[in-house]
Amino acid sequence: MGFDDDWAAVMSASRDRQSAGTRLNSAGPEGAGSGPMNLVVTQDDLGAVGHEAYLLHEQLRERVDIAGAGSGSGSGKNGEGSSVQAANELSSRHMTMGSELLTTLSVWDSQVKTVLQMCAHISNHLDYSKRSYAQNDKRIEDSLRHRDGTAVSVSEISKYVR
């Protein structure tokens, strides 16, 4: 086999691998090479995601406090939950499991607080994004009007694009 035959075989194998792989620069065969893809997000989408993040935050805040579980009125010392009471009792009896339980509760509490902060951050950021995009849309709309309130013509807008 000569160089030309080897080269053709390598090129063919390369094309086969390329066509079977994932292409990240297009939307598929119908959109291949047709230009950049634009992200489109509606106000309703942002609101729905922000609302779900808020609901998740509230549910987590109410349901995942294992350190404070069982700390209702009349039960527990100093408002401590049953898990903390158990850890303290085990520690007072010189059992290492008590300190390990306290460590577990501390790590759990830290992780829960991180997730709660992220949910709040997502919700707040999406609320901010909705307001910001609405203000930007209004600013753009206002800039495309003449002083008398009439819309700028398409031919005039096309001057800005060039």
CA distances from 93 to 18, 70, 96, 97, 106 (A): 67, 22, 9, 10, 20
Q: How far apart are CA 6 and CA 17, in angstroms?
A: 17
- Cβ-proximal residues to 15 (8 Å cutoff; 6+ apart), any chain: none
- Per-residue confidence of the chain (162 residues) as pLDDT tens digits? 677 888 888 888 877 766 555 555 555 555 544 556 666 777 777 778 888 888 998 998 888 876 666 555 444 456 577 888 889 999 999 999 999 999 998 898 899 899 999 988 988 888 788 788 888 888 888 888 888 888 888 877 777 776
pTM: 0.51
Beta bridge partners of 145: 151
Q: What tokens appear for 34 in the block?
A: 């047709």
